[in-house]
Structure 1
Amino acid sequence: MQLAQATVLITGANRGIGLAFAREALARGARRVYAAARDPASVSLPGVYPIALDVTDPEQVARAARDCGDVDVLINNAGIAATGGFLDDPTLETTRRQFETNFFGMLRMAQAFGPVLARNGGGAMLNVLSIASWINRPLLGTYGASKSAAWALTNGLRHELRAQGTQVSALHMGFVDTDLTRGIEMPKSTPEAIVRAALDGLEAGVLEILADEATRQVRQSLASDSPAYLAPL
């Protein structure tokens, strides 16, 4: 799926990885880029079309699908993260909130825009996941669970949308230097490096895009007798 002359919608496009996606889509010659955010006034990148979209709001998702009927590339980037493991959330409020955005929000977007992509020839959907889809530690335990669920969703959507010609790709990466990871002292990639790898993979038809070396190592370990998710802290 080539970005040149494509119409792209990016969720969570006002900052971080989403903003980098918008910049790179424009640089690759996208015909139109919809930059979706809860507050469209927070989108300041010249050349994009800001739209109001909270992926946890079914009415806003449905309206976006009606108003943006020319989309042929959907980038499901919106996501939230909270630190803490499963035993740190006794009310389950933090866990539910992350699942509402990271899993159910992605599902709502797929349900709403699947028919849009079909009408426009199939196109592509890129779901922004994480190394935490495969490896879970107490620092981001409940977040990791939401990304594991989103990976399963992505794998299922790939089969459900194949008949209409939609390419469904997953993007996995480790820590990225954005507001989301502020205060976490770990090696981090730049948003620009992750987005370049993501869109190179999307254009090449790669279905599981591994955007950094740490993610490639973890993914490779899953087929070994010592998978990374079993390694002690």
Structure 2
Amino acid sequence: MNVTDQIALVTGANRGIGRQFVLELLERGARKVYASARRTETLDFDDARVVPVRLDLLDHESVVAAAAAAGDVSLLVNNAGITTGAGLVTGDLAEVRRELDTHFWGTLDVIREFSPMLAANGGGAIVNVLSALSWFSFPGAGAYAVAKAAEWNMTNGVRLELAAQGTFVEGVLLGAADTDMMAGYDGPKVDPRDVVRRALDGLAAGSIEVVVDDWTAMVKSSLGGDPAQFYAQFAGA
């Protein structure tokens, strides 16, 4: 998909990667961008092509209302997410559920509500922002990793199911990005603008999966080997 003249909706558009998606879509000539967030007052775009929309992944009625308000969408960008830091064994089980409710159930809810609109508008495309943690786990990110693993394979599943209606589905995988969510992380971070540019370049090229950075590429390449070798680097973490 060439995004020029397309009508897009971006979830979690008030900051970080979501905000960069809105800006880059406008730069590339999108006709309209629905910028969604749980609180629309946090959206501060100065462009008449941006339409604020309330959408909370944990509120089904808000998802239904957003789909009704944005019936002309041809590109859906699922970016909204959270990280709780919850552990799987001793962490707060409510927080573990919140991770899954957000990344898996919430994102799937959005796809289910918007897919009829995409079909009516010629098929269009869906971009799901995933994570290298779809493919491994790390102390302090157990719940997030489980939720992203579920979202990754859900992305593969909906790609197959939506192919018949002409909807293209792309997964975008990255390590840490330089956003508010990762403010406490000391390792290398990817520029959110690079994430978005590579995602949209991949969309134009017809790539069903975009691996943004070297760390994520290394994680993916390790999956064919002995997992003991990969997890040895986290010994004592």
TM-score relative to the length of structure 2? 0.94
What is the alpha-carbon distance in structure 2 between the residues aligned to residue 92 and residue 225 of structure 1?
30
What is the alpha-carbon distance in structure 1 between the residues aligned to residue 51 and residue 15 of structure 2?
15
1:172 corresponds to 2:173: yes
Identity %: 45
State the match for 2:13 in structure 1: 13
Contact 1:129 1:173 in 2 (8 A): yes
State the match for 1:143 in structure 2: 144
What is the alpha-carbon distance in structure 2 between the residues aligned to residue 85 and residue 222 of structure 1?
23
List aligned pairs for 1:42-53, cutoff 5 A: 42-47=42-47, 48-53=50-55
What is the alpha-carbon distance in structure 2 between the residues aligned to residue 223 and residue 49 of structure 1?
44
Matched to 1:40, the amino acid is: T
What is the alpha-carbon distance in structure 2 between the residues aligned to residue 189 and residue 217 of structure 1?
15
Structure 1 residue 83 displacement after superposition: 1.7
Structure 1 residue 232 displacement after superposition: 4.1
Alignment size in residue pairs: 232
Contact 1:86 1:138 in 2 (8 A): no
Q: Deviations over 1:143-200 (max 9, x none)?
A: 0100000011101000100000110010100000111111111110111111111111
Matched to 2:182, the amino acid is: T
Structure 1 residue 229 displacement after superposition: 5.2
Structure 1 residue 230 displacement after superposition: 3.9
In structure 2, do the counterparts of structure 1 residues 198 and 139 end up closer, same or farther at CA, with 3 Å as the change threshold?
same
What is the alpha-carbon distance in structure 1 between the residues aligned to residue 195 and residue 123 of structure 2?
25
Contact 1:85 1:137 in 2 (8 A): no
Q: Secondary structure at the match of 2:171?
A: strand
More divergent stretch after superposition (218-227 vs 183-192): 218-227
State the match for 1:86 in structure 2: 88
State the match for 2:223 in structure 1: 222
State the match for 1:156 in structure 2: 157
What is the alpha-carbon distance in structure 2 between the residues aligned to residue 187 and residue 87 of structure 1?
28
1:74 corresponds to 2:76: yes
What is the alpha-carbon distance in structure 2 between the residues aligned to residue 16 and residue 228 of structure 1?
33
Contact 2:37 2:53 in 1 (8 A): yes
What is the alpha-carbon distance in structure 2 between the residues aligned to residue 59 and residue 41 of structure 1?
19
Q: Deviations over 1:66-93 (max 9, x none)?
A: 110000000000000022431231x401
Structure 1 residues without counterparts, runs of 5 or longer:
none
CA RMSD, 1 decimal: 1.3
TM-score relative to the length of structure 1? 0.96
